[in-house]
Structures are given as structure tokens and as C-alpha cells.
Amino acid sequence: MTETTASAAPAVHVTAPAGRRGARIALRTVQVVLALFFAVASAGPKLVAHPSAADSFADMGWGSLGMYAVGVLELAGAIGLLVPVLQSAAATGLSALMVGAFVVQLTYFDGANAATPLILMVPLLLIAWNRRAHNADLLRLVRRRA
């Protein structure tokens, strides 16, 4: 017959490996930087009708309505990057907007800054992929409201 004894083992607190935590912090930092970029440097000039933005949209024939629409989409995406349940969807939407910006750069502006939207898509797609678990939460919220 074997005797069993209850041991008073210390409680173990399990934490994520340091590398995983560092990656989460880095990704969050990239999200904040991109949100600031899209809100201030990209949407800002469009929403205040800065001449640089207004002239570009006028040259394309989109006028102020197109300029404000793109500015609102960029601002919404910037805010979404900071809201956990919206992060993946916002990054995906901003990536789609960057595809449009790439096409516009090629067709209207002879590719002068065509690399910029492509460069921005890399971290946006990384965010969309790494935060994709939030999509299920977003879907549950939408279904509950319907």
C-alpha cells in the first residue's frame, strides 16, 4: 500500500514568455504610431481642406466630397486601430484603402509616391492577422445588436 501525502507546493504564476510579451508590446506600439499617422498626417489635412489635399483631389476630379470621404475613412480606421474589438477590421479596411491609394498614385500621379501605401500595408496586414481573434468578438456584438 502506497502512502500519499499532500504537498504544499507553492502556487505557480504562469506568464507569457518574454519574447511573446515583447512582440505584443511592439505590435501595440506600431498600432499607436499608425493610428497617429492616419489621424494626424493623413486624415487631418483632408478634413481641414488643406490646400495640398484639396489640390490633389481637385486634380483627380474627386473634389471636396471625395477628399472628405477618404479623410473620414482614414480617421475611422485610425480610431479603430486603438479599439481592441475593431483592430483587425480597421487594419483590413485601411489596407484596402492603401490598395486604392496605390492605384491612385500610379494612375494620377505617375507613381511618384506609389511605394508609400505598399509600405503602410505591411504593418497593417500584420496587425489584421495578429488581432484576427477579435473578429469573432466583433461578429458576436453585431449579431447581438441585430
pLDDT tens by residue, 97-108: 999 999 999 999
For residue 103, the surrounding DSSP H or E stretch is helix 87-108
So what's the pLDDT on residue 19? 80
Q: Distance between terminal CA atoms of the chain?
A: 62
Taking Cα atoms as reference points, which of 78, 33, 70, 77 lies closest to residue 49? 70
The yes-or-no verdict on residue 124 having pLDDT over 50 is: yes
Cα gap 102→72, rounded to integer Å: 18
Nearest-angstrom CA–CA distance, 132 and 91: 10
pLDDT of 11 > 80? The answer is no
pLDDT score, position 127: 97
User: What CA–CA distance (Å, rounded) separates 101 from 120?
Assistant: 11
Confidence of residue 14 (pLDDT cuts 50, 70, 90): very low
Q: 16 falls in which pLDDT band (50, 70, 90)? A: low
Residue 27 has pLDDT above 90, yes or no: yes
Residue 13 — pLDDT band, cuts 50, 70, 90?
very low
With left for phi above 0 and alpha for psi between -120 and 50, is residue 4 left, alpha or beta? beta
pLDDT above 90 (res 29)? yes
